[in-house]
Structure formats: C-alpha cells, structure tokens
Structure 1
Amino acid sequence: MTGCSSLNTSAPSLPLTGAVQSDVKADIEVGEKITGKASVTQLFGLLTLGDSKKYADGVAYGVGSTGGALPLPIGGASLVEKVKSSAAYNAVTESGADVIVAPRYTVEQNGYGFFGTIDVTVEGYKGTIKSIK
C-alpha cells in the first residue's frame, strides 16, 4: 500500500494587524495549560467515522490555517475546520474553561488510497471569565 501524509502546527506570529474596538470589558483569569484532541477517518471520500457531534462555535481559524492540506479524498478544508472545532470543544469542556487563551492547533492528515485520517490536537491555556462589563 502507498500513502501520503501532512503535518501542520499553527504558530501565531506577531505583530498582529487590525484593530478591534469594543465597550465590553472582560476580566479573564488565565490558568493552567489545557489540551483537546479530535480525529476522523473517512472511507471512499463519503463515509466519515469517529466524527464528533459536539463543536465549539465562534472559533476563528484564519485564512490558510489548514496548512497546505494535501489533495486527499478526505473531505477538504471544511472537514479539517470541523475537527479543529471538535478539538476546541473537547479542550474547553474537559478543563471547565470559558475560552482557550493562545490556542495552537496541530493537524495531521494521512491518506491511504481509499481512506484517510485527520487528527487534531489543540493546546492553550484555560481562560475563565471572571466578569464582563
């Protein structure tokens, strides 16, 4: 059997460009390091196994966050974003966090002809909202 694989780890760079203004002030306590994992296997580009039914909404991954995904028959970027969202959900719920501070995603894609896998790990810090004004 032959196959191919891809590995991407996100690393935010500074300085960030853009400006966001809001009258809302949040007091967030940053805690210990947290981790979440999620993975899927797709057969024949149609049947997805191990797909979670729980996702974190409002998670922005940015342009190009799939890390040059391989042209594999495993669902494309939208499936990668879905697995990232599932990993974020797992990190938040398992740790009791309100937000993930400085999240870093590692995406590993492997293709083996008629099936492929996507494994995502997110690491960051537990953020607990103390107050919003």
Structure 2
Amino acid sequence: MTTEKKQRSEQEWADTLTPEQYAVCRQCGTEPPFTGKYYHHKGIGWYHCICCDSPLFSSDHKYDSGSGWPSFYDVAKDDAIEQESDLSHGMVRTEVKCNDCQAHLGHVFEDGPPPTGLRYCINSTALKFVPSD
C-alpha cells in the first residue's frame, strides 16, 4: 500500500505553521538545546508530526539522552521517517524527515540504548503530543 505524500506550497506551509515551526520543519533549523516543550515531557502517548499529524514516535521509546532534545530509540513504524545524509555545519550527520510531508525533524545517531542502539534526536517544535486514551 502506498501512502500519498502530503505536499503544500512553501506559502501554504508558512501560513499554516508558526515562524519557529516553519524555520525548523521547512528550513532545517534547530531549536536551542534544553528549551523544547517535550524535552522533559513524560506523558504516555504518541508524538506526531506538527506539519501533517503522522505518528512518528511512541512515548514507550522516549528516554533522557542528556542531549538537550527529546530522544527516542525507535520510530512508531518502519516507514514513519526518511533518512538522508546531512553535511551541513561542517559535520557528517543523518537527517531525519517525516516520510509523509518531508518535514525536517532532527537527526539520528548511533549512540543510543538497546535494543536499537539509535538516538533519534528530535526538535520539540516538529512534534505534537497525542496522549493515549
């Protein structure tokens, strides 16, 4: 089953998102560390993409990495995100994007806990928390 990508014009994104959300999600920005509303968040539920509402991460996979951003060791489902090489700022990193709308979410690193060994380091600005019923 193929999922249709959720596309909008840049003007539609700019009209829909706050300036901070637009800067992070559509222009690959980063919120300052230790400032995001989900960094210390402990609620039970799902973290969705702020742009298209696709489920991305479960609170079951969230942990405190000490990095300054919400961190997860796994995704909600295998096709929730896309990864691509990011060579910006003189670093070699792997960028994480929402698979449905291509929103920039953050980066993934290979220094996370078991069982995956991954650390999805995600901007709070790119997320919307949906509590479990």
TM-score by length of 1: 0.24
Larger-Rg structure:
1
When you count strand as a share of all residues, which structure comes out higher? 1
| Structure with greater contact order relative to length (CA < 8 Å, sep ≥ 6) | 1
TM-score by length of 2: 0.24
